Amino acid sequence: MLRKLGLALTLFAFWLLLSGIYEPLLLSLGVVSSLFVAGIAHRMDVVDHEGFPIHIGPKGITYWPWLIWEIIKANIDVALIIIKPDLEISPIMFRAEASQKTEVGQVIYANSITLTPGTVTVGVNEGTVDVHALTIGAADEVISGRMDRRACQMEGDS
């Protein structure tokens, strides 16, 4: 029930953001349409733990700023590699541990690696991810497991 209510609230907030009109008639129509769509999604059985992971939202308050900082640091590293005339790259493919328990957690981890410049997740397996890194330093950053632990914390005890 919490997921259905969360979906209805999210749809209404999105509707309100897009409409920008705060008249009582339109607000009530927005509420009705949001509840209607959430009801349809419930009947179609598409509001599940992975389809609408509302439990992850509050944990993103600490995860997203940390990930943005990691992206900024990796951007600087890649920019310095490009600026240097000798291009100190050492491409490497490796397999790193993925400790997440759910598919949503694995997707968060794999996407976090890919969002970080200099690394790309090329495959997700049961308990591991295949990663291509531009440098050994970028590979060491993934292998260290810090991002894996942070993604696990974001995933929670789901």
Domain coordinates of the chain in residue numbers?
A: 2-43, 56-155
* pLDDT confidence tier of residue 13, bands split at 50, 70 and 90: very high
Q: Max alpha carbon distance in the chain (Å)?
A: 65
* pLDDT confidence tier of residue 147, bands split at 50, 70 and 90: very high
Instruction: Say if residue 58's pLDDT is above 90.
Output: no
Phi, psi of 76 (to 5 degrees): -65, -45
- Per residue in 15-52, pLDDT tens? 999 988 889 999 999 999 999 998 898 888 777 666 65
* pTM, two decimal places: 0.71
Instruction: Say if residue 158's pLDDT is above 50.
Output: no
**pLDDT the model gives residue 157:** 57
- Per residue in 105-120, pLDDT tens? 899 999 999 999 999 9
- Per residue in 63-104, pLDDT tens? 999 999 999 999 998 998 889 878 778 899 999 999 998 888
**pLDDT the model gives residue 95:** 94
